[in-house]
Amino acid sequence: MSEKADNTKNTTNTTMWVAFFGLFTSLGTILCCALPALLVTLGMGAVMAGLVSAAPWITVLSTYKVPVFIVTGIVLLVSALLQWRGRYAPCPVDPVQAKLCRVMRRFSIGITAVSIVLYLVGFFFAFLAVYFL
């Protein structure tokens, strides 16, 4: 295998893992801010109380929401930049590997897009909903 093919494979793997990490961190923003606001808005305060008693770490996320959002934003920015940088990266010549490369590239872009949407929803409920609701 050539050095360029190894570099392309490593870039694709790195981009995929950063996208997964972006999804993981954006779910943290949803849990800390959007989910509690949604449950309380829908009149499900008892559900929220039960959720906090079952998973008390949610309140820790809420306490440190600014650092959580900063770290998540940085991870999502890195993920989007890696997606952008690798958009024209060549896939292997082998048809099976080329198809897998294209599928994984689309999957990674989808994960990044979902992560950004979740981040924006969490950001709205954490910082902007006070002014609009």
For the whole prediction, is pTM greater than 0.95? Answer: no
- Residues 117, 27 contacting (CB under 8 angstroms): no
Q: What is the pLDDT of residues 78-123, one digit of tens each?
A: 888 888 888 888 888 899 988 988 888 888 888 888 888 888 888 8
The two structure tokens encoding residue 28:
């943290």
- Do 61 and 32 contact (CB within 8 A), yes or no? yes
Q: What is the pLDDT of residues 35-88, one digit of tens each?
A: 787 787 788 888 888 888 888 888 887 788 899 889 888 988 988 888 888 888
